[in-house]
Amino acid sequence: MAFKQTTIPGLLLIEPTVFGDDRGYFFESFNAKTWENEAGFPINFVQDNQAFSGRGVLRGLHYQTGDAAQAKLVRVLQGEVLDVVVDLREDSPTYGQHYKCHLSEENKLQMFVPRGFAHGYVVLSETAVFFYKCDNFYSKAHEGGLRFDCPSLKIDWEIETANLIVAERDRNFPSLGHHLK
């Protein structure tokens, strides 16, 4: 497994070592010992989530606040998504910056999203199955979000806005600067 630091401190891209032959492929998607050696810190994932969506579905930008903040290890089991994170750590030199990458069943990349980030994705393929591990339990009382079309973020979602399928809740999230409760 190769761990690569992105342009935002703490945000990691993880490329598994894939073993393939005429039967298919195998790879280790998570190993606590490898994680601690490569990432430099232990992590205790306590909840797994999976979502199925069609092309143009945009989920996000979501985060959890306070004691319910979550770090996530995200990947795509089927299809392809454009995955986007926004650094909301006010003491970070990259506060308010976003990072995006393609996650797919073909590239098998994973992204580690530390606590203090908003996260979202849009489905680029006909359908996608998105999977993620969380280091803290979901808490409705601590959920928050940023508008996917926040003017100061200028995120190119790679699909025309008119063709995006976005939940009403996500459309009503505030812009950056007005997001903290």
Query: If you average pLDDT over every residue of the chain, what do you get?
Result: 95
pLDDT for 178: 66
Q: Helix or strand or coil: residue 125?
A: coil
Backbone CA torsion sign across 30, 96, 170, 99:
negative
Confidence of residue 179 (pLDDT cuts 50, 70, 90): low
Q: Phi first, then psi: give them for residue 165, nearest 5 degrees.
A: -110, 110
The pLDDT tens digits of the residues spanning 111-161 come to 999 999 999 999 999 999 999 999 999 999 999 999 999 999 999 999 999
Catalytic machinery residues = 62, 132
The 10s digit of each residue's pLDDT in 16-42 is: 999 999 999 999 999 999 999 999 999
Q: Are 104 and 110 within 8 A, CB to CB?
A: no
What does the DSSP 8-state code read for residue 11? Answer: -
Question: How far apart (Å, rounded) are the C-alpha atoms in residues 10 and 40?
Answer: 11
Specify the pLDDT at position 177: 78
Q: What is the pLDDT of residue 181?
A: 42
Q: Where are the domains of the chain?
A: 44-171
Q: How far apart are CA 179 and CA 181, in angstroms?
A: 6
Q: Please give the pLDDT value at position 147.
A: 95
**CATH number for the domain formed by residue range(s) 44-171:** 2.60.120.10
